[in-house]
Structure 1
Amino acid sequence: MKEHDIIHLRRLTFFGHHGVMPEENVLGQKFIIDVDLYLNLRKPGLSDQVEDTINYAEVYEKIKAVVTGERYSLLERLAQRIADQILEGFLCDSVRVEVHKPEAPIPGIFEDVSVEIWREKQK
């Protein structure tokens, strides 16, 4: 059986300045990020050592830096940037990133708008 191990980070909420509309870049808004890190967790499951896994507090800080410290027009670009940073900085094989924009400038009643991407580490 192929192992299917995942570290989930859910509903990470940050204030950022991303969007196509000029007022989004001035006023900013809330962004919610969900991330799944795919890697083999057998070694840390046996060793009980943080050095053998991905420290999700460090992942959180990397995501926070991208969402709050950078500016993009598209959710697609923001999601790609988060995925790139995770794949470059951590020992995961692949990552799923979903960026939610619950206050998107849409003239209607809605709960959420989101973009989801899946990326694998380049070999």
Structure 2
Amino acid sequence: MDEIVLKGMPFFGYHGVLPEENAIGQRFVVNVWLACELSEAGRTDDVSKTVDYARVYAIVREVVEGLPKKLIEAVAEDVARQLLTTFARLQSVTVEVEKPGAPIPGIFGQVSVKIRRDRA
């Protein structure tokens, strides 16, 4: 299966378990891997035979900047569901939501959740 990958999409949202996370907000970074057949798009150079990256970005942005959730797991799940619902070409989608500023005492680069959801 071929893939379209959008990586490093930064957004500002209000997700988190702690009340201050919901009030102050923080940065989230989202990466998506979209599994679909791309050979026809490659052969024909026809944009209608692929997935519109701009629409993918808009959906991810709407979810991350939208209604607050407690868990980044829920953010990832919502992104995956909406992408699979919107794009019939997708066979599966992998979504990674990074939370660089997670309220964890200690030094770390990031916390992230990565899920894969298939069409079936």
TM-score scaled by structure 2? 0.97
How many residues in Structure 1 have an aligned counterpart in Structure 2?
119
CA shift, 1:18, in A, is 0.2
TM-score scaled by structure 1? 0.95
CA shift, 1:69, in A, is 1.3
Which segments of 5 or more consecutive residues in structure 1 lack a partner in the other structure?
A: none
Which segments of 5 or more consecutive residues in structure 2 lack a partner in the other structure?
A: none
Deviations 1:39-97 (A, max 9, x none): 00011001111111001111000000000012100011110000000000012000000
Which of 54, 57, 65 is the aligned partner of 1:57? 54
Q: The residue matched to 1:86 in structure 2 has which SS?
A: helix
Q: Percent identity?
A: 47
CA shift, 1:27, in A, is 0.3
Which of 12, 24, 30 is the aligned partner of 1:27? 24
Please give the alpha-carbon distance, in whole angstroms, between the structure 2 residues aligned to 1:114 and 1:46: 36
Please give the alpha-carbon distance, in whole angstroms, between the structure 2 residues aligned to 1:80 and 1:108: 27
Q: Which segments of structure 1 move beyond 2 Å, counting only runs of 4 or more?
A: none
How well do the aligned residues superpose, as a CA RMSD in angstroms?
Answer: 0.6
Please give the alpha-carbon distance, in whole angstroms, between the structure 2 residues aligned to 1:62 and 1:30: 17
Which of 81, 106, 109 is the aligned partner of 1:108? 106
Please give the alpha-carbon distance, in whole angstroms, between the structure 2 residues aligned to 1:70 and 1:22: 14
Asked whether 1:81 is paired with 2:78, we answer yes
Q: The residue matched to 2:78 in structure 1 has which SS?
A: helix
